[in-house]
Amino acid sequence: MAKIKLLLEVEPLHPDKREGFTAFREAVASETSALGQALPGFDRVAGLGVEPDEDFVPVPMFSAPLAGEGAHEPLRALLEFAVPETNPDFAPTSEILPVEVDPTKLGELREREGVRVWARSPLVLDEDERSPGEPGADVEASAFDLARSRTGLDCRPFRPGATIDTIRALLGVARPWQDGFRGQNIVVGIIDEGVNGQVYPVSGGFTRPGASLQPGAAPITSHGSMCAADILVAAPATRLYDYPFLGRPDSGGALTMFQAVLEHRRLDGTPHVTNNSYGFTGVPRRELAQGHEIWELDHPLHRKVREVVASGAAAFFAAGNCGIQCPSGACDRSGIGPGRSIHASNSLSEVLTVAAVNSRQERVGYSSQGPGMFEEKKPDFAAYTHLFGNFGPGRPGGVPAPPLSPFDNGTSAATPVAAGVGALLLSAFPELTPGELREALLAGLVNPTGKAWDPGYGRGIVNAAASYSFLLRKT
């Protein structure tokens, strides 16, 4: 019988003696595979046919499940990571081991003292299966003449893509740019499949000896390169850290990347923002999905995301591409439409969940709809997609072959556009906490629906000029 992939959470054998960040860094730097490492806590599952996954390293956790005693205590220490200096290491509350398990031993494993069993599920990149648009048809029109629609809908065949200048005009970036702020001194971490560092300003990220993909080494046609281009729309002076999934896009890979972000935060307070354009495309039956990321708020991945936000780094997440009007072909029927398509980490209250609109401020029909499965009022807001950022005539990624459309698309593109606005505001107001950045973004939204919250648009559409003015008034 084939083994199944899981995450095991084990309590440390010597909680007062281990330094979690140091252990993680040493494991990442080791050229020995996880299978050859002496994994702490692994003897707790001896005799159950559990094998470490050679492609991953153990990940320390610094927050207990929310229902447990002292669940939020370690998060207070993470608040110190908001400064550009190295902070002390400390012991983890538990450790996550990515493993492969004989399914016949699963019952015994769940009963083993000091061990919790969590799902390790595939994640997909949030790009839509697209139909070609007429490139460049909007370039001579005024951006504000185009943005007249009130809660319109854009489905296949989609309206033409917009230029970067059009999106910049709609975002209102000229106002902070005139004051000298373009995202400088801010680092955005891209957790994705990799970024091309020859074209985009990659200056760090997750590195491991022998890994197939290092920071900045992805092709220009990668999904991560598209995200990089779209961050730079609002914040062209920002720097990028590349956290590639290393060819293993599942929740274990994302967990490792977020721990790498947290380690960077501990060392020097960067990155300041993370961009996450991926998610799940279906909802498993709850009774058959014990420990699954979609149902379990305490899943280690969600707790690690909360740790990163607690350390001072805002997390932007794509709402997903499973909106009911024209969902991506990757979406399972169980995860399409209102109340079912925004879930897992994308629906955490701590993150900023981004829906997608086009340059006419019409909701793009594949953009996932709330309410969210953890936090009800998700998405938080919408940002622009279908633009010539990385893809399109004259752009670095060129024009993809049919049936792919020749422009950046999906909530995958809308999310880095919003993250770029976040980086722009942080360059002007670097002391902003994630909560204060959220407040500023929400205060500046354009609201075409007239509602306090809408399941497709959230609370409105991001606008850098209005958010910047809000922050100026507060100072």
Quick one: tokens of 414? 């809308």
Judge if 386 and 286 occupy the same domain.
yes
Same domain? For 147 and 273 the reply is: yes
Residues 280 and 309 in one domain: yes
Residue 461 buriedness (CB in 10 A; 0-12 / 13-18 / 19+)? buried
3-state helix, strand, coil in the chain (%, to 5): 30, 15, 55
Going by pLDDT thresholds of 50, 70 and 90, the confidence category of residue 48 is confident
Could you tell me if 235 and 279 lie in one domain?
A: yes
Same domain (yes/no): 60, 193: no
Global confidence as pTM: 0.93
* Residue found under tokens 């692994």: 42
CB atoms within 10 A of CB 342: 32
Say if residue 152 is in the same domain as residue 201.
yes
Give the model confidence (pLDDT) of 335-384 as tens digits: 999 999 999 999 999 999 999 999 999 999 999 999 999 999 999 999 99
Instruction: Indicate whether 68 and 178 sit together in one domain.
Output: no
Residue where a domain stops, chosen among 92, 120, 148: 120
Look up residue 460 and give its two tokens.
């409105």
Segments forming the whole domain that contains residue 19: 4-120
What pLDDT score does 204 carry?
96
pLDDT score of 96: 93
Answer yes or no: do 87 and 178 share one domain.
no
Q: Which two tokens stand for residue 273?
A: 């923002």
Both 109 and 175 in one domain: the answer is no
We report the CATH number of the domain holding residue 317 as: 3.40.50.200
The residue assigned the tokens 């492609």 is: 55
Please give the tally of structural domains in the chain.
2
Alpha-carbon distances, residue 465 vs 4, 178, 338, 422, 470 (angstroms): 49, 11, 31, 12, 9
- Give the pairing of strands 239-244 and 314-318: unpaired
Mean pLDDT of the residues in the chain: 89
Question: What gap in Å lies between CA 431 and CA 426, rounded to an integer?
Answer: 7
Cis peptide before 160 (omega within 30 of 0): no
Q: Using one digit for the tens of pLDDT, what is the confidence trace for 106-128?
A: 888 999 888 999 999 999 887 65
pLDDT over 90 at 386, yes or no: yes
93 and 148 part of one domain: no
Phi/psi of residue 260, each to 5°? -65, -40
Of the two residues 142 and 261, the one the predictor is more confident about is 261
Helix, strand or coil for residue 346? helix
